[in-house]
């Protein structure tokens, strides 16, 4: 409720500032979620041409290499500091003609509602709080998003109610950023199938267990392939768990800790396939048009999923969705072996998917 009080106190200042508002033609997108959610906002950047963005610090390496983003503000730098919050607010208050609120949490609603933009389009989700009504009253348009609406469609509707995900591409960096010094293992020529995997997920509850990776590696032994293992330095323990099951194998190639975030899209673009749970790298792979095998666990795939060329792997049991884009769980009732396990049917699906895509690439 503190933001409501601040809004009411600042409302007269907003009206005074509005007297001096000039047309700028500038766009502001407010999306402060993480990597996958940022990738799914990039069709908006294509639709708008150029924009500024309020964002999370974690995606800064991608944004620094995005020619469609002119300026950015980092939400973590202001959200716990009243004076920095006020500086940001008065900086953006009169600067934009179009404000698109994609992540409608309290602080973002507060900032968007006090902008003097003549066009303010807010996303309204299934997470409703009574005090948010005041902020939504300042919007010139509202897009209702449900748990079964595709997020990219909802985001694009903020710009034009007729836009769909097929109208604009996604990207991770624009143009594709090339690393200054690529990892040596990616410079080595390999004629077999290159499969990238995410050894963990940003939301650790979505991490695929070592037993599943072991089962998958064993089931694909008839193919000529290398597994390239993606992860940050802190993920080494997950690889160690896998190696306890597989032993050292020459076709298991670690990229753990070798790539900065801005280099990951280029590295994934070198893969023939990418396998992960519902995590950021899956959406980077989707933006690079790499075929994806995604274990979705108890995520609601109607709401968000890769869209280019994807094989979705069900959980072993009939488990209803329990985690959503705007209502995320960080602990699940079911064990990871159940959410991200494999059975004979899944393995057959994966083999068929790989063989089909490899044959299409050869023809």
pTM, to two decimals:
0.95
Q: What is the pLDDT of residue 102?
A: 98
Please tell me the predicted confidence (pLDDT) of residue 261: 97
pLDDT for 133 equals 95
pLDDT of residue 128: 87
8 Å CB contact between 42 and 170: yes
CATH fold of 184-362, please?
Answer: Rossmann fold (3.40.50)
Tell me: the pLDDT tens digits for 271-324? 999 999 999 999 999 999 999 999 999 999 999 999 999 999 999 988 999 999
Burial class from Cβ neighbours inside 10 Å (0-12, 13-18, 19+) for residue 304 reads: buried
Q: What pLDDT was estimated at residue 296?
A: 96
| 45-92 confidence digits (pLDDT tens) | 999 999 999 999 999 999 999 999 999 999 999 999 999 999 999 999
pLDDT band at 1 (very low <50, low <70, confident <90, very high): low
Write the pLDDT tens digit of every residue in 105-144. 999 999 999 999 999 999 999 998 999 999 999 999 999 9
Give span(s): CATH 3.40.50.2000, the chain.
2-167, 184-362
CA distance 195 to 295: 15
* pLDDT over 90 (residue 188): no
- What fold, for 2-167? Rossmann fold (3.40.50)
**Mean pLDDT of the 168-173 span:** 98
190-230 confidence digits (pLDDT tens): 989 999 999 999 999 999 999 999 999 999 998 999 999 99
């Amino acid at each position: 409720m503190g933001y409501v009080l601040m809004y009411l106190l600042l409302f007269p200042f907003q009206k005074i500032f509005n007297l001096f508002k000039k047309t700028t033609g500038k766009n502001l997108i407010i999306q402060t979620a993480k990597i996958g959610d940022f990738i799914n906002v990039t069709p908006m950047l294509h639709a708008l041409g150029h924009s500024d963005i309020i964002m999370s610090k974690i995606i800064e390496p991608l944004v620094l290499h995005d020619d469609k983003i002119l300026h950015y503000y980092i939400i973590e730098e202001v959200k716990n500091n009243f004076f920095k919050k006020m500086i940001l607010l008065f900086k953006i208050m009169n600067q934009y003609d179009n404000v698109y609120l994609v992540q409608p949490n309290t602080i973002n609603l507060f900032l968007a509602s006090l902008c003097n933009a003549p066009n303010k389009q807010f996303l309204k989700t299934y997470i409703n709080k009574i005090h948010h009504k005041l902020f939504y009253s300042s919007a010139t348009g509202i897009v209702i998003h449900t748990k079964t609406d595709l997020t990219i469609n909802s985001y694009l509707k903020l710009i034009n109610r007729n836009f769909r995900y097929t109208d604009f591409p996604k990207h991770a960096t624009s143009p594709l950023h090339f690393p200054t010094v690529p990892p040596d293992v990616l410079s080595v020529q390999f004629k077999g199938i290159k499969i990238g995997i995410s050894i963990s997920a940003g939301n650790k509850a979505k991490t695929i267990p070592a037993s599943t990776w072991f089962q998958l590696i064993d089931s694909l032994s008839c193919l000529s392939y290398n597994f390239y293992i993606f992860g940050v330095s802190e993920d080494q323990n997950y690889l160690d768990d896998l190696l306890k099951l597989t032993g050292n194998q020459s076709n298991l190639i670690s990229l753990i800790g070798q790539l900065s975030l801005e280099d990951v899209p280029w590295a994934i673009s070198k893969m023939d396939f990418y396998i992960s749970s519902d995590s950021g790298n899956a959406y980077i792979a989707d933006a690079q048009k790499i075929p994806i095998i995604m274990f979705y666990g108890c995520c609601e795939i109607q709401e968000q999923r890769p869209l280019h060329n994807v094989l979705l792997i069900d959980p072993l049991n009939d488990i209803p969705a329990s985690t959503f884009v705007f209502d995320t769980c960080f602990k699940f009732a079911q064990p990871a072996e159940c959410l991200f396990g494999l059975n004979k049917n899944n393995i057959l699906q994966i083999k068929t998917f790989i063989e089909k895509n490899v044959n299409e690439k050869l023809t």
